[in-house]
Amino acid sequence: MTRICHIEIDDRGLAPPTPEIEQERKVAIFDLLEENSFALPAKNGQDFPGPFRLGLAIREGRLVFDLASEAGEKVAEFHLSLGPFRQVVKDYFQICASYFDAVKRLPPAQIEAIDMARRGIHNEGARTLQERLEGKADLDIDTARRLFTLICVLHFGG
């Protein structure tokens, strides 16, 4: 039961996503809902067993995780500074652009090298997310990777 069962992205006030960004969002949400590990540590003797409904938003320049029970009862809300994510998100989008360009014109060995770099930056973003959520939520690296993708989508909007 320590999982996310529903995700809602609040992109009000952000530029409309491009078709590519919208596709990334759909894939990340699908993959995340298929398999994830997300738990809230007990606080003041209160246990939060899950599953959780997750709302993700950017409000007042902060990344907001709004968590509710499966029935919709509010459980927790975290506000994280976007500062620690800015450079890794920028790097991730740059390497993704290089990768998509490479697929069109470079040999497989060079594409593979760029893809390895892309995965490395993606892992760095996931680790940053795990660090920022330390003490607030426990999540595995695959869940962190998928959530990082959604943060990228939110961060860059369109």
Residue 135: pLDDT above 60?
Answer: yes
E strand or H helix that includes residue 38: strand 38-43
Strand, helix or coil for residue 20? helix
pTM equals 0.89
* Tokens representing residue 25 in the block: 């969002």
Q: Where are the domains of the chain?
A: 4-156
Dihedral, CA of residue 134, residue 128, residue 15 and residue 8, to nearest 10 = -40
Dihedral, CA of residue 20, residue 86, residue 11 and residue 24, to nearest 10 = 20
Query: What are the pLDDT digits (tens) for 52-68?
Result: 999 999 988 899 999 99
> Smallest Cα–Cα separation from 77: which of 15, 157, 10?
10
Query: What are the pLDDT digits (tens) for 5-14?
Result: 999 999 887 7
